[in-house]
Amino acid sequence: MNSAADRSVVSSMIQHWQDLLRNGSCVHISGAKTKSALHSIGKENVEICTRSLSGIVTYEPQEFVVTVLAGTRIRDIEQTLAEQGQYLPFDPMLVSQGATIGGCVATNTAGPGRFRYGGIRDFLIGIRFIDGEGNNIHGGGRVVKNAAGFDFPKLMVGSRGRLGLMYELTFKVFPKPQAYGTLIADFAECEPAVQRMTQLAGSPFDIEALDLLVVSGNPPTYKLAIRIGGVESVLQDRMNRIRDGLPKPRCWMKDEDMEFWKNERDLRWAQPNAFIYKLPITPKDVLGLESKLVRSSVQRRYSVGGNVAWIAIDTACAEQEFPVNPSLCVIRPTGTDTESPAADAFSQNAPEGHFARAIKRALDPHSRFL
């Protein structure tokens, strides 16, 4: 987005959205709508779609910083970065489905690869957005350093479009590893798999991703997936050091490795007719969850070293199989959409959301963002 014409179009769009908010419209923000459970709009509300707000504003490979518009598809950003041997280390999800970078930030959907370097909050360093009164707000910048004032970039991660309309985002990026390899180890029971996962999470092996997969059966079995990235010439030696502590692991390289993790971050393992939930957990919670789900047909993954659980529940048995907070649902099957916004920490009936509601009153005092 370098031409004067492009900049003029973006300025016009931003001005139009500011006018909508200043005129009292209640709005719902959307992108590619890949997180269907988080996209719901009432009949009297205005939908603001950011997909046309797309493009790379500035990219400085030598500084490892990129600034993009919120509606830019993640795959386009990844392609541009890859040309310079760089990438987004927080591993954004649903890339193949066309997810936008703004939606990724708003829903805080980082994939298994965030295990090594951290999530979106660790890499979003600058943001521009419109608040509920139509004001243009700027937080952070293009330089990785401490700055005075409110840390708006971190605040907007996971805000689900309830605090403001993000239109420009700045990220720090990293050099992309030359090569990757994955070890897959099978376990007949959950406890030894979790023990080994916990040991590896605290090891000095610089693991890129560490996920525990549940294979359906009676009883189920478990697969521990360990991904390593780095210099190709020493990758096999590093994997051999990990292999010694695993029960007959298989080794996947190149296409096998890439396809496996692509399926994981795009949630392709889940049935098409499933409600998909993201649960924040700790590794200590895994055994407790498994004790409840061991005899169920619920599909599940324990990702990021056991700190995130992905639960996929069939439409027909969602309530009976595993009752779960609806606000944790990320994807719902086609035909089950509602006009009600998903309950979250900003909702009036959320007892734990006092602080979140105070922030919303400051940025959106008239509740324009729904």
**Is the predicted pLDDT of residue 339 greater than 60, yes or no?**
no
**Is the predicted pLDDT of residue 156 greater than 90, yes or no?**
yes
Burial class (CB in 10 A: 0-12, 13-18, 19+), 354: exposed
How far apart CA 144 and CA 124 sit, in angstroms, is 10
**Is the predicted pLDDT of residue 188 greater than 80, yes or no?**
yes
pLDDT in tens, 238-296: 999 999 889 999 999 999 999 999 999 999 999 888 899 999 999 999 999 999 998 88
Using an 8 Å Cβ cutoff, are 91 and 112 in contact? yes
Portion of the chain with pLDDT greater than 70, in percent? 88
Task: Using alpha carbons only, give the angle 335, 337, 340 rounded to the nearest 5 degrees.
Answer: 160
pLDDT of residue 121: 97
Helix (H, G, I), strand (E, B) or coil at 99: coil
Region(s) of the chain under CATH 3.30.465.10? 4-175
Q: Which residues pair with 175 in a beta bridge?
A: 86
pLDDT classification of 4: cutoffs 50, 70, 90: very low
Measured CA distances, 221 to 192, 232, 300 (Å): 11, 32, 12
Burial class (CB in 10 A: 0-12, 13-18, 19+), 234: exposed
pLDDT of residue 145: 58
**Is the predicted pLDDT of residue 317 greater than 70, yes or no?**
no
User: Sign of the C-alpha dihedral, residues 262, 40, 368, 9?
Assistant: positive
More confident residue, 119 or 335: 119
Within 10 angstroms of residue 273's Cβ, the number of other Cβ atoms is 15
pLDDT of residue 296: 85
Q: Which two tokens stand for residue 153?
A: 């970039």
Within 10 angstroms of residue 174's Cβ, the number of other Cβ atoms is 16
Task: Summarize the confidence of residues 42-59 as an average pLDDT.
Answer: 89
pLDDT of residue 137: 96
Q: Which residues pair with 124 in a beta bridge?
A: 171
Task: Summarize the confidence of residues 87-112 as an average pLDDT.
Answer: 97
DSSP alpha helices (H): ranges in the chain?
Answer: 4-22, 74-82, 101-107, 114-117, 152-156, 190-201, 232-243, 254-265, 285-293, 318-321, 354-363
**Average pLDDT over the chain, rounded to whole?**
90
Predicted TM-score (pTM) of this structure: 0.92
For domain 179-331, the CATH architecture is 3-Layer(aba) Sandwich (3.40)
Name which of 36-40, 130-134, 224-228 the model is least confident about: 36-40
- Under CATH, which number does the domain 4-175 receive? 3.30.465.10
More confident residue, 352 or 315: 315
Q: Which residue has the tokens 């509300």?
A: 45
pLDDT of residue 316: 58
Indicate the DSSP class of residue 92. Answer: B
Closest C-alpha among 177, 169, 171 to residue 86: 177
pLDDT of residue 355: 85
pLDDT in tens, 94-106: 999 999 999 999 9
Task: Summarize the confidence of residues 105-115 as an average pLDDT.
Answer: 97
How far apart CA 106 and CA 165 sit, in angstroms, is 10
Region(s) of the chain under CATH 3.40.462.10? 179-331
pLDDT of residue 45: 83
**Is the predicted pLDDT of residue 172 greater than 60, yes or no?**
yes
More confident residue, 37 or 147: 37
pLDDT of residue 10: 92
pLDDT of residue 19: 97
Burial class (CB in 10 A: 0-12, 13-18, 19+), 154: middle
